[in-house]
Structure 1
Amino acid sequence: MSATTISYLNSLLDYYTPSSTYFDKARRHRASIETRLDNRLGVSEMFETGSLRHGTGVWFYSDVDYIASLKGARPTPTTALSNVRDALKDRFPNTTIRVSRPAVVCEFASGDETVEVVPAFAAPSGGFWIPNPADTAEWMKSHPKDHNSWVNKSNEKHSGAAKKLARLAKTWKYRRNVPVSSCYLEMRAAKYAGEQSSWILPMDLFYFLRNLKNVGLAAMNDPTGLGSRFTACSSTSNRDDALSKLDTAVSRAQKAYDAYMDGDDATAIAQWKLVFSQ
């Protein structure tokens, strides 16, 4: 039996959904990381965040992400990142450890067990200050726990459409090497899915990509009303690159949509395969 457009997209989702145990090896490093940071810098709390925590991780590409809320006075973002990097380099001398704002990336097992640690400082009014990816001199306000709850709430509509859409958008990002924030894509996807009165995956995936193009990957207000705006890219050059690749994706998605509406699943699938570099 020939594949349908919907079955193809669902198979793509199944393929890139990590198993419940896939990242267990990376998570094993948490205790030693937290202990080292606590001994060197002081840790108020450390918790998992990001796409794996939200249920939007992409197999093979997503890392394990932690927020490390540090004690003491808040220095510059660059100093905080350097302090975390240097503390972990001393503890894990045979591991590649580097700064990739807003996190310190630890490439355990030659990158097969990658962990990202975001230095943070608790804000008196709630949430955390984390390094701003788009401005090396600034902190940005983040409420990761509230954002997780908001995504979960949006995901209640249409049988989990928000997280499916976020995972497909991130799959496109990774497969096409698009320099756009995964968090931005996730929040945009959750906002889009939560606003729809109906849902058909091949149609809404196209509409969502087109919406990203129409807004020009503009910064997005925090939908919880608590934190800083979500920016799509860390630099102007990255934004230009991302918009160019988005334009190509939307053009192919338009052809996939038109073919789907005409009942031509073979052509629709061929176009989606181009979108996802398959």
Structure 2
Amino acid sequence: MTINSYLTQLANEAILKDSEKLSIERSLIAIQTRLSTYFSGDIKKQFVFGSYSRGTILPRAMDLLSDVDYMIVFSDTQYQPQTYLNKLRSFAEYHYSRSEITQSNPTMVLTMNHIRFELVPAIESYLGGLQIPGKANNYQNWMQTDPTGFNQVLYSTNQSNQSLIKPLIRLVKYWNARNNYPFESFDLEQRIVQHKFSLIGLFGNPQLKNYFFSFMEGLEVGYLASQWKQDALNKAKKIIKEAKELDRDGYPATAEETIAQFLPRISGYTS
């Protein structure tokens, strides 16, 4: 097996199983129905956003913090964010008392056996669009957001790159999860979309391995980042350099084994 075939197989395995999707969809239907009943007309709309809606979410087996983002837009706009978070906590405690319920600003996290759901309160702004709790002043004020705007950007970028961007995102997020999350998940997705992959197509066959190597080699954490984050990234770059040299020197099997040890398959898990 070559490096490219291994990474392609791993990226395919990083897709939710049909059984996982079914379980999530059932939970989403239940959440939607219970929210509508519990708040009885106080909700203007509710919808899924984030990595689940983009098809870049990882299975729980590959990312213990994998979650589904769910936005709840309230009709009443007069309160500060914490009031709506408290309302969502009351809802969760009423309907999901056996599940773990925690506040992780700016969301209320509902942890079930199969997946985590992040319930995000929102209101419509006077200027149009949506607002969610903002980081300023410890999430006590609102900030403008476009929860689905990135979806189209990702779709277009994926289409113009031989549909290799989504598999790349899953690989990089898997590396991130295995290394204690030196980067925020959404930040990685944004960086990948903004990365310049055009030279790959000009100077060789656009393969997933080349996309993975190009992005990881160009990835930076910044000078002010914690030492452990710098160490995690430097280690990744060192292993990638070693694998590329082995492959170039005519040892494809050893090169593939090096990458397989770096990003191992999950035992017993296939999508």
Q: Same fold (TM over 0.5)?
A: yes
Q: Work out the percentage of aligned pairs sharing the same amino acid.
A: 27
Please state how far the C-alpha of 1:134 moved relative to its aligned partner: 8.3
Counterpart in 1 of 2:10?
A: 12
Counterpart in 1 of 2:26?
A: 28
Matches within 5 A, 1:102-117: 102-108=106-112, 111-117=113-119
Matches within 5 A, 1:107-146: 107-108=111-112, 111-132=113-134, 136-137=138-139, 139-146=142-149
Matches within 5 A, 1:4-83: 4-38=2-36, 39-40=38-39, 42-60=42-60, 61=63, 62-73=66-77, 75-83=79-87
Counterpart in 1 of 2:174?
A: 171
Please state how far the C-alpha of 1:197 moved relative to its aligned partner: 5.7
8 Å Cα contact 1:192-1:208 kept in structure 2: yes
Please state how far the C-alpha of 1:5 moved relative to its aligned partner: 0.8
Q: TM-score, normalised by structure 1?
A: 0.78
Structure with more contact order per residue of length (Cα contacts < 8 Å, sep ≥ 6): 2
Please state how far the C-alpha of 1:80 moved relative to its aligned partner: 3.3
Task: Determine which of 154, 158, 161 is the counterpart of 1:158.
Answer: 161
Please state how far the C-alpha of 1:21 moved relative to its aligned partner: 4.3
* 1:179–1:101 distance in 2 versus 1, CA, 3 Å: farther
Inter-partner Cα distance in structure 1 for 2:197 and 2:44: 34
Counterpart in 1 of 2:269?
A: none
Q: Which has the larger radius of gyration?
A: 2
Task: Determine which of 197, 202, 207 is the counterpart of 1:200.
Answer: 207
Q: For the aligned residues, what is the CA RMSD?
A: 2.8
Please state how far the C-alpha of 1:37 moved relative to its aligned partner: 3.8
Counterpart in 1 of 2:189?
A: 186
8 Å Cα contact 1:65-1:117 kept in structure 2: yes
Which consecutive unaligned segments of at least 5 residues does structure 1 have?
218-235
Please state how far the C-alpha of 1:4 moved relative to its aligned partner: 0.7
Per-residue CA deviation, residues 80-133 of structure 1 (Å, 9 max, x unaligned), is 33331232112221111112233222122xx32432222222234444222346
Counterpart in 2 of 1:221?
A: none
Inter-partner Cα distance in structure 2 for 1:190 and 1:140: 24
Which consecutive unaligned segments of at least 5 residues does structure 2 have?
266-271
Inter-partner Cα distance in structure 2 for 1:250 and 1:75: 48
Please state how far the C-alpha of 1:74 moved relative to its aligned partner: 5.6
Structure 1 runs of 4+ with >6 Å offset: none
**Is residue 216 of structure 1 aligned with residue 203 of structure 2?**
no
How many residue pairs get aligned? The number is 254
Matches within 5 A, 1:78-97: 78-97=82-101
8 Å Cα contact 1:206-1:253 kept in structure 2: yes
